[in-house]
Amino acid sequence: MDVLQLIKTRRSIPRFKPDPVPREVIAAMLEAATWAPNHHLSEPWEFLILEEQARERFAEIRRDFRRTLFGDPDAPEAVKASEKVYRDAVETPTIIIVTTFVSPDPVQAEEDFAATFCGIQNMMLVAASLGVGTYVRPGGLVRDPALR
């Protein structure tokens, strides 16, 4: 498939099959990410592949963060929603956390953030080309001290 067709047909997949993602696919995704354009060749990204206990801890952090989004974190709907994000994370076969270095220079920080998202797009395109679904989840959780 040519690149434009791949860009047009790639979709976010919020529900995954339980099958493990082959290591070769993960390696191809990570390599593609490192080819993203980045000003001054800063390569501001880092990739963390969460497995077993790390995925479990990430699921706990997601659950706890979700509860903070409700006026009453102990309300039944808050508990139900937080347990759903917990299960979703635990059941996701591969989670790749992508971080970016935040430069004290605001211009460089902005460029590095953009470069990191270019890398994420590269990862998602490679995954799609290999038949693996992806879903990027930025949002408030990325600023949560427990995750950091």
Q: Determine if the pTM surpasses 0.85.
A: yes
Average pLDDT, the chain: 93
pLDDT one-digit tens code per residue, 26-40:
999 999 999 999 988
pLDDT band at 18 (very low <50, low <70, confident <90, very high): confident
State the Cα–Cα distance between residues 58 and 72, nearest whole angstrom. Answer: 22
Residue type, 71: G
State the Cα–Cα distance between residues 8 and 66, nearest whole angstrom. Answer: 32
Arithmetic mean of pLDDT, 99-128: 95
- Beta-bridge mates of residue 48: 97
